[in-house]
Amino acid sequence: MAVVINGSGTVTGLAVGGLPDGSVDSDTLASGIDKTSISDSGDATAMTIDSGERIGIGNTVAGTMNGVNSSILTIGTGSGHSGMTVYTGSTNEGTINFADDTSGSGTYKGMVRYDHNTNALTLHSNATESIKIDSSGAVTMPSQPVASFGWSGDISANNVIPANLIRVNIGSHLNSSGRFTAPIAGTYWYGYVGMSHNATNNFKVELLKNGSLNGNDTRAYTHDVAYSQNSIFGFITLSANDYLEFKPQNVTLHSNYGQISIKLVA
């Protein structure tokens, strides 16, 4: 028999101090129950609260679960499958919140939310949606750093390509001078394509990391053809506050016919 405690404090499903299994009022419960555990019909422990106020549901081992930052609630018997269900209406939301305050956004600084109306799962950090998985399985990350830009005029050799045609700048990590600054350490994807304005000398465009050439493998190159295109793309590891820029060498970069994109991917 399941243990049930109703709104008036009446408990059913307990055998207390030799009394028959049935309805026990709160006074009898207070004087007769073992205050560290609740068991269904006395043959299996349904819930345990230990002296450290740690709760075990289906077990008596909550006090031994000493993982990172410890555990207050432990669910499961330690064998077979186990789980937890948040049960809501078909057009409502179910949430698990992580709080560090008792008011405002501090009550949901972190959140896992499932919206049954749209069948979308979202993860929130710092009280802001960070990842969304919609009903089709498509994943979006609205705060993920992404920048994409072009340039409106010819760029002379040995000058950093400016970002005066910014098309995307999520997080505002790209400035108008063409410098993208990494907000966090990680792996970033970069891509450049552009066109030379004339056929004098070899046409190169270099990827600069913190003001220096990152290596010959991050240099776009073509040779002696007017209006020829070149491109580079790949992945690069950046520390927080590292910055990327692109610079043409030897010839003038043609206006408009090109684009540069950078994105945090891992």
Q: Give me the mean pLDDT over the 18-36 stretch.
A: 49
Q: What is the pLDDT of residue 191?
A: 97
Give the chain's mean pLDDT: 83
Q: Give me the mean pLDDT over the 164-180 stretch.
A: 97
Q: What is the pLDDT of residue 11?
A: 52
The pTM of this model reads 0.72
Give the range among 39-48, 151-160, 180-189, 222-231 with minimum mean pLDDT.
Answer: 39-48
CB 197 within 8 A of CB 253: yes
Q: Dihedral of CA 62/65/66/69: which sign?
A: negative
Q: Give me the mean pLDDT over the 42-62 stretch.
A: 77
Q: Is the pLDDT of residue 33 over 80?
A: no
Q: What is the pLDDT of residue 229?
A: 84
Q: What is the pLDDT of residue 14?
A: 52
- For residue 208, which phi and psi values (nearest 5 degrees)? -105, 130
Report the alpha-carbon distance of residue 242 to residue 45 in Å, rounded: 56
Q: Is the pLDDT of residue 25 over 60?
A: no
> Can you name the residues that pair with 261 across neighbouring β-strands?
148, 191
Q: pLDDT-derived band of residue 35, with 50, 70 and 90 as boundaries? A: very low
Q: What angle do CA 44, 50, 55 make, to 5 degrees?
A: 70
Q: pLDDT-derived band of residue 48, with 50, 70 and 90 as boundaries? A: confident
DSSP codes, 229-265? EEEEEEEEEE-TT-EEEEEEESSPBPSSS-EEEEEE-
Q: What is the dihedral of CA 56, 60, 61, 62, to 10 degrees?
A: 20
Q: What is the pLDDT of residue 58?
A: 85
Number of neighbouring beta carbons within 10 Å of residue 195 = 17
CB 112 within 8 A of CB 98: no
Q: Is the pLDDT of residue 178 over 60?
A: yes
Residues in CB range of 138: below 8 A, 6 or more apart: none
Burial of 73 (0-12, 13-18, 19+ CB in 10 A): exposed
Give the range among 127-141, 186-200, 223-237 with minimum mean pLDDT.
Answer: 223-237
Domain ranges of the chain: 4-75, 93-140, 146-264
Q: pLDDT-derived band of residue 60, with 50, 70 and 90 as boundaries? A: confident
Return the CATH number of 146-264, one of 3.20.20.70, 2.60.120.40, 1.20.1730.10, 2.70.70.10.
2.60.120.40
Report the alpha-carbon distance of residue 14 to residue 113 in Å, rounded: 36
Q: pLDDT-derived band of residue 220, with 50, 70 and 90 as boundaries? A: low
Report which of 263, 259, 264 is spatially closest to residue 163, judged by C-alpha positions. 259
Q: pLDDT-derived band of residue 118, with 50, 70 and 90 as boundaries? A: very high
Give the range among 30-34, 150-154, 199-203 with minimum mean pLDDT.
Answer: 30-34
Tokens representing residue 161 in the block: 């390509």
